[in-house]
Amino acid sequence: MDNNTVLVLADPAERQLAMLEELPPETTLAVGNSREAFEWAAPEAAVIFNWSLAGGLLREVFAMAPHVRWVHVRAAGLDNLLFPELVDSPVPLTNGSGVFSPSLGEFVVGAILYFAKDFRRMIRAQTAAVWEPFDIVEVSGQTVGIVGYGDIGRAVATRVRALGMQVLALRRQGPPLYNVDPLVTQVYGPDRRHEMLARADYVVVTAPLTPATRGMIGEAEFAAMKPDAVVINVGRGPVIDEAALVEALTRRRIKGAALDVFNQEPLPAGHPFYKLENVLLSPHAADHTPDWMDQAMRFFLAQFERFHKGEPLLNVVDKRLGY
């Protein structure tokens, strides 16, 4: 590959950028958080790496780089990063899907046990120095319904099956002719989501945000759930109709919710979620292990090696579907 110019959209002070020294010595890097930082290198650039900045700058830089042959985004989610020029171009787009899935799967297990064993009640009694035995729920034999069965969904399924739980999966494509995934008992298409939701003790949302998934879990879906169902969202906030969720939690139509993602982040002060006793909140940090950023950079370096050798890239996104 003759052209080794890489445009890195990031705050130049970010620590993980030092790892880019592992790229081949003939690589030319332009790093910055403004259009001006890339004017000298963009005309010859082959790669755009959006490490940490919003889609507005990515769109500007993409327009400046007529010879770009690959765009990589650190995150798994692509909402606000897809724009018509990129979608319509033949340039492949890859993302960080799979890099953070194990941690998200562990968070889901933690959330399930939090509600099944009523850890909030234990902490409240301990703080009040009260000895108050109560009954808990055994999760073995219960059912987890996964909305959006991709890499994160499989990470969840692997871990909950180890607890003896049954797994149902909702996929855009619907059920395959033959179910070849030993983790999943049954696969549903979007038109049968109410049927799946009615069977689930825990509804785990891992779907990406696309026009088709925005608001797909709303009032009708909460009405279809069991009254003791728990909703866990580690996908994207707007996949759930937030107002409908607040209503369902307030009126105890469902048992509870564990949320790592929200419509607005940071979650604004005074939001109803802060006051609800049946909600467990995570500040979009369920995958923030001490080395999560290092893992993301290592994945890019491995991807770049494949690109440099002319090998197929991993995590190639269907830009029209958005994942």
Instruction: Round to whole Å and give the CA distance between 271 and 6.
Output: 42
CA 283 to chain CA mean position, Å: 13
289-297 long-range contacts (CB < 8 A, ≥24 apart) are 289/103, 292/99, 292/100, 292/103, 293/15, 293/16, 294/16, 294/19, 295/99, 295/100, 296/16, 296/74, 296/96, 296/99, 296/100, 297/16, 297/19, 297/20, 297/51, 297/74
Instruction: Round to whole Å and give the CA distance between 181 and 32.
Output: 43
Q: Measure Cα distances from 260 to 61, 96, 165, 235, 280 in Å.
A: 31, 18, 22, 8, 9
Element (DSSP H or E) covering residue 93: strand 93-94
Task: Let me know: does 171 contact 113? Beta carbons within 8 Å.
Answer: no
Instruction: Round to whole Å and give the CA distance between 197 and 256.
Output: 15
Q: Show the tokens assigned to 156.
A: 């969840």
Instruction: Round to whole Å and give the CA distance between 23 and 19.
Output: 8
Catalytic residue numbers read 236, 265, 284
Element (DSSP H or E) covering residue 262: none
Task: Let me know: does 230 contact 279? Beta carbons within 8 Å.
Answer: no
